[in-house]
Structure 1
Amino acid sequence: MTTAPGDRPRLLACDLDGTLLDAHGRLSQSVSAALHRARSAGVALAVITARPGRDVGAAVSGRVPDSAYWAYSNGSVIHAPGAAAPSRALGFTADRAVRIVADVRTARPAWSCALDLVDRTVTVAPFPSGGSAHWRHVVRCASADELTLPGPVPKVLVHTGTVCDATVVEEVQRVIGPDAVATASGGAYVELVPPGTGKSEALRWLCAELGVDPADTVAVGDGLNDLGMLRLAGLAAAPANAPVEVRRAVDVVLPSNDEDGVAVLVGLLLDGRAVTPRRYRPLPSTSLEE
């Protein structure tokens, strides 16, 4: 999508960490006001995050318009505005999730796993205790043999002990094979979701739910796990803090999350200024070739 003056996207889909939130995990007043302004202008909103819902506190959710959709666990669990129960909850079967843990541990004994359920996260030893220190509702078990899961399991986390860049994601993908899709949202974990899920499929589902053509959407994100939805959207944007692989994939590079990049994007979309590929690029052209 290339917007002309006066055009409005019908849906704005945003990643959370590193995009809507600043480096301290805060949703600024400027970004909050921009989201409310977009909604008042008739733009539907969706937050599509790798976090489970229980890890999004009221200090964040309370500053997002009540009419926004929330898609958690990389889009596997979607809540309609104001709904306590999910409208969609997908994931691995319990048996498949247990097999993934066993396969990972067999192939790479130094790696460990955690299973991100709707109501809790289950870590499997030797998962580092520090890695889950700030998570809510964590249950620890000594081995995959102890796992009793209700299913579905929206997401499996793999701790490799290394920075989870594209190379590490590819290595994990080779280990697990085609029955799961590996990606990463930054930090220390590779994230596994079932084929046919992920942020792009969440955006596709939201478009169908709202009767919106994906060409009439704008997506913004900063992680490798955002690439699918960025490619699907009619217009794709990334903050300047995104890794080079993401910045190369989008139409518009914005100021960083610490500089309220999403607020800048909303201004471009609503203030009558045309947004064309690379229209707004505060970065030098050479910065995309790092």
Structure 2
Amino acid sequence: MERTPRLIALDIDGTLVPTGSDEVSPAVLDAVGRAVAGGARVVLSTGRSVLGTLGVAGRLGVGGTLLCSNGAVWWDVRAGAAVRRSAFDAAAALAVLREALPGAVFASEVVGVGSLALGRWAEGDLSGDVREVGVGEFTAEPTSRLVARWVGREPGELAARMSGIRLPGATWTSDHVEAWLTVVPEGVSKGAELERLRRELGVDPADTAAIGDGHNDVAMLRWAGCGVAMGQAPEEVRAAADVVTGTLAEDGVAAALGRWF
């Protein structure tokens, strides 16, 4: 019989909610609630900033540790504070990105506050206080998360342009829905940070599960004892999983959790 997971990592955008939304379907709310009631530790593991994550966490009733910014920021819900934060010097990475992605706008996370913006972002793209600054202020302090939107371009164009590009001291993942890039410190990934958390919690590797749909979920799906890809995920993401569930529109998370709870 398949083991019931004790630690379950859930992506947000494209997995729990439509991209950019905080609205969780009743079926998914119920399924996550059953998992928590069944004794599982549910961890949101997302590329979103802390502020972009808290709304979904509140709707789900998920407490404990949130792994935000692809794991670069660990946020303790009860304490209302970051308990672990990795950062990198954005200056060198930004120089490469500005040359590779002409016309892109950039944002650097100010944890728990909002973002510094380099260029004008559309309303609603960034959470919290957004302050437009120059390059000097943008790169003055190390950041945990730098994001870029390549305005007017398609996700495939962004992926093609970034193919083979390495960023000093940092690593990047691109979105398959929007021309959006997320950059975090080198060595940080959802999979690496979940492994660190698993060890801290003393959970057996076989008692872990993860559900996701994007390129930044590949390391997480490979990390999990049972990796579950959403039905609409790109082929390379589905290939990294043990199981493929339904799409977001089909409440795939509810179906996946229903096999255990």
Aligned counterpart, 2:228: 237
TM-score normalised by structure 1 residue count: 0.80
- Pick closer, same or farther for the CA change 1:121–1:267 going to 2, 3 Å: same
Q: Which amino acid is 1:160 matched to? A: W
Question: How do 1:1-290 residues align onto structure 2 when only pairs under 5 Å count?
Answer: 4=1, 7-22=3-18, 25-56=22-53, 58=55, 60-92=56-88, 96-118=89-111, 119-125=113-119, 128-130=120-122, 133=125, 135-141=127-133, 143-147=134-138, 149-151=140-142, 153-161=143-151, 162-165=153-156, 168-169=158-159, 171-172=161-162, 174-177=164-167, 179-185=169-175, 186-270=177-261
- Pick closer, same or farther for the CA change 1:38–1:200 going to 2, 3 Å: same
Q: Which runs of 5+ in 1 are unaligned?
A: 271-290
CA shift at 1:64, angstroms? 1.7
CA shift at 1:11, angstroms? 0.7
Residue by residue over 1:1-50, the C-alpha shift from the partner in whole angstroms, topping out at 9 and shown as x without a partner, is: xxx25x31111100011101146541112211111111111111100111
TM-score normalised by structure 2 residue count: 0.88
Higher helix share: 1
Structure 1: distance between partners of 2:33 and 2:182: 31
RMSD: 2.3
Percent identity at matched positions? 33
Structure 2: distance between partners of 1:243 and 1:13: 19
Q: Which amino acid is 2:38 matched to? A: A
2:36 aligned counterpart, secondary structure? helix
My pick for the range that moved more, 240-249 or 214-223, is 240-249
Structure 1: distance between partners of 2:14 and 2:162: 23
Structure 1: distance between partners of 2:199 and 2:160: 31
Q: Is the 8 A contact 1:20 1:31 kept in 2?
A: yes
Structure number with larger C-alpha Rg: 1
Structure 2: distance between partners of 1:148 and 1:250: 37
Q: Which amino acid is 1:129 matched to? A: W
Residue by residue over 1:117-169, the C-alpha shift from the partner in whole angstroms, topping out at 9 and shown as x without a partner, is: 312211213xx43276553211112x313436443x1111133342234x734
Higher strand share: 2
